[in-house]
Structure formats: C-alpha cells, structure tokens
Chains A and B, each alone.
Chain A
C-alpha cells in the first residue's frame, strides 16, 4: 500500500511539473519529457445517439486533431517560437489543471498507465478565452531514472470545437 501511494505521488508530481512547463512556455524542456517513440494523439469526438457511442471517437486510421510523433511535435514548438507565428505571437496565456489522477492496475516502478482529467484555460490578446475540458490516458516509462511520456491519448468533451484553434499542447 505504501509503495502504491509513493508511486501515485511521484507520478502526480511528474504530471504537475509537466503542466507547469507548458504554462511557463518551456516547450523545449517539455519535449524532453517525451520518449523518442512517443505517440501523441487527440481523436475527434462527434455527437452520437445512445447505443451508437462506439462511433463517438475517431479511430486510429481516421482524422485527429493531433496524431503526432516527436518530430512533428518538435516542428510545432519551432513554429510557435517564431516571431512570425501569428496565432502564437502574442502567445497564449494558459493554465493546465490536472486532476483525478488514477494509476491503472499493474503499474511498476518503471512503467505505468495513468488516467486523469484536465482543465486547460487560455486567455489570449485582449479578450479571447477558451476552456478545454477533457480526459487523458498516458503511458509512462521511466528512463535513466526519469519518467517520460510514451503515449498520450487526449479526449476533449466538445464535439464542435468552440475555439479558433488548438495552438497549445494538452
């Protein structure tokens, strides 16, 4: 029990630290938290009838807001850091709140699957506001004593996205 609590605490601290890096726009450091073979995926959600929920999220060979590897994520960081990135210059002001952290059974000292809920608030320019609420499923691996994100599935609760863009990470 003690070990489980410690592991939960360690992983929660890791996820809070990661969220802080994003809020502080330390994207290059954030990239270091991802494994080289990371898969970062945010499928699209649609409005379906009860009984047809299986079709609510797009599948792996269908469209997704993000379907990224480390190279494409690095390109996004490079783009946002450019002075000519009009969607991110002036930059977004974000707050990533991570909560409801649950370790799946079978977590070890070096490998864990973690579910959590998130609220990401964005303010931009004078009065732009976005509120993204959803859930995440992260596969974490410990490499050289440090936790890294190997796979992230992000599910937003909106179907028609009420935002002009997704120029932030989740």
Chain B
C-alpha cells in the first residue's frame, strides 16, 4: 500500500475516512505498524501466581503464551512451534511443566528454550542449533500496577513512558489500596462483526452516545454504578488525550447529582471506609473529587473504573473483533463489594449486558454500512467541539480539556493511529 495513510485521517478538520474501518490492506498494515509495535495488555499478575501457570492470548492476530517460568519471571512467547508453526499450547489457561508441540514433539521450556527434539541424534545427526530455535519471545514484558503488558518491538520505549499520563487515571482503579488488585474469575470472550477501532473510540471518550444508545436500559430502570453510562450530559468533568494516543474522561463528584443513590451501596461504603488510604496514595483530588473514569490505552485496552472493567479489543480481521472482558477488584475488598461489582459489570456489559448489547449493535452496523463503494467516499464526522476546546493547566491533573461531551479524545486517537501507520 503506497498511498499516504495520513490523508485518510484529517484531525484538523475532524474527518476520518471510512476506509480505515473496512479495507483489508489497511488492516494488514495495522497488524504490522500498530499491533506488532505498541505495548499491548496481556494479562493480570494475579492470574499467574506460581511457576508453570500460563494463559494464552493474542497480540494482534499472533497467538501468545503468557507464563511464569521456573525462576518466577513472567514470559511472553509466540505460541507457534519453530518447526512447522503449530500451536504448542491449545488451552486458555492452566499449569504446565513445558510446552510440547503436538505435531512432531518439539518441546520448549517455560522460558521458551527448545529443550526436546525427537530424533535429535538419529535423524538430525545432532546437527541442529537448538539455542537458535526457541519460541519467539515477546521482545519486552513489563508490569504496571498488576497489569502485564508486552511489545514485539525491542526498541519500544519503556512501559512507564509508553503509558505516560494514562497512569494518572489508571491508578484510580488499580492503586486505591496498598493490597493491590486481583482479576475476578472468568473472562467473557465473544466475537462481533465490527472493526476494533469503533470500540476503542467509544471508550476513549464517547459520552455523546449514552442517551440514545442506552435509552432502553434506562427505561427498564437499569442504572449502573453512579454516573456509569447513565449519561454524562450536564455532568462536570474533563477529557485528557496523551501524545501516545491514550485518552480518558474523568467525571467529577457532585454533591447533589441526579440519579445518586440515597443509601450508600456496598461499594460506596467500602470506598468511604478506605478513603484515607486512597487519599494518602493518590492525593485529595483523585480520592475525593473524582467520581469515575473511562479510558482507552492505545490501541486496544479500555478501562472503566465504576465496575473495574478491562475490555480488550482483539482484532480478527477488518470486520471482526473478539472482545475479552475482565474485571479487577481490590484484593482486600469485602466479599459483598466483590459480588456487587461482578454483578454490575456483567449485567450492564458482557454479551448479555443490557448496555453493551446495544453498543455492539451500533458498532457492527457502523462497520457494515461503510463497506460500499459509495459509502467509502464519505468520511465520518469527528468535529464535535472542534475549535471550542477549553484547555486547563493547573497541575491538579494532567493537561486537560473542560467538559465530557466532545470528540477531542477520538481526534487524538486517530492522530496517533495515523502517525504510527505512516512511519
């Protein structure tokens, strides 16, 4: 693909070509220039407590094993035998001593080294440099507040720098308590016929959709945690977009906000009881002034604080996304708090969730109705608030923009997308 991809995204005018959501050539370039380069979310430390524990995931479309080796170090390994390419691990998670390919029996240690080749003496005549034929390692693995990330780019900046100011908001979910967080048992995994970017672009800052998309859930009397998806019109808050393409909306606490629950629920009671610790870790503003946040960590991890959700948007082709949804909760939170958050997350989000099923209906049809030759001539509109940005720089939070309902973060997301695709 020789043309300049940058022309497909014009953030100055708020225009994004529909071609980036449907065309196979652009998608292949995304796998190389975005998914094979960026730091991607792989798992949570609590899923791998002991040596030999593993889980499988994907980075782009590359299958990857995340495991804890004998020395206790977390490793990322391309899940593809170096001999004929077969997967050496075919389950979602478990505990194992080594990975043996079911095709010819090449066997790899937990750190990826090739330690067994059937017929090494008889048929290879000892003439195979086993040190060169270990599983392809994920170039860098690092952990931020329990979340394990990896990148196939050995030259990528360190994780902390790559996350940049996104850490400010991530900490409000992941670092409230010194006890750390854990993953709730069970991950939702399901396939939907939409381009992965529609999902990432929704969670990075679309507070515009709630009133229309989620109208039926509200009619039915479903309210998420205070403020969650119940519409952000008229609510106080701000938007942050970082140079790395991460973006978040932060909704501020309002003393007399509508829709607030009069009697505090388990989560509110827990947060009140532990606010001293949170304040000492995060400061007064984040502990006491912030109600909730939602964000997308570029490219395909979205985090929502109200029920502690991590969504991973795994690309499976230009028109297909496999959604993985996990929840994280403070390890030391009481059982009733954990139950409340688990139920709230899965009843509102997940395949059966009363909010998410309508989101997906919309993302699918945004994708499929953009396939036609004529539709592709007409760009999508990302102009909301363009030229009306109100920047704030006061040190209370990273440099930000007033207001929750705008498309500043989406424009920043596609600016970053175009930068990476061009280079």
Contact = CB atoms under 8 A, between A and B. Distances in A.
A159 B327 CA distance: 18
Given A75-B222, A79-B354, A164 B361 contact: yes
B308 to A, nearest CB: 12
Given A47-B90, A59-B185, A72-B347, A84 B215 contact: yes
Contacts of A61: 185, 335, 338-339, 342
Among A64, A67, A165: residue with most chain B CB under 10 A: A165
Contact of A87 (B221, B222, B358): B358
B91 A52 contact: yes
Given A47-B92, A87-B360, A164-B192, A79 B222 contact: yes
B285 interface: no
B216 A79 contact: yes
A55 B91 CA distance: 12
B317 interface: no
B94 interface: yes
B191 A64 contact: no
A129 B77 CA distance: 36
A86 B362 contact: yes
A88 B92 CA distance: 32
A9 to B, nearest CB: 33
A52 B22 CA distance: 40
A38 interface: no
Contact of A164 (B335, B338, B342, B360): B360
Interface residues of A, number: 42
A162 interface: yes
A78 B188 contact: no
A63 B188 contact: yes
A22 interface: no
A68 B354 CA distance: 13
Contacts of A58: 185-186
Q: Give the 4 A-B CB pairs with smallest separation, nearest first.
A: A62-B185, A63-B186, A58-B186, A85-B216
Interface of B: 90-94, 184-193, 212-213, 215-217, 219-222, 322, 327, 335, 338-339, 342-343, 345-347, 350-352, 354, 356-358, 360-362, 364
Interface of A: 42-44, 46-49, 52, 55, 58-59, 61-68, 72, 75-76, 78-80, 82-89, 159-167
Given A44-B186, A48-B94, A85-B358, 18 more contacts: A47-B91, A47-B92, A58-B186, A63-B185, A63-B350, A64-B186, A75-B220, A84-B216, A84-B219, A86-B361, A86-B362, A87-B357, A88-B357, A159-B189, A161-B190, A162-B190, A164-B364, A166-B351
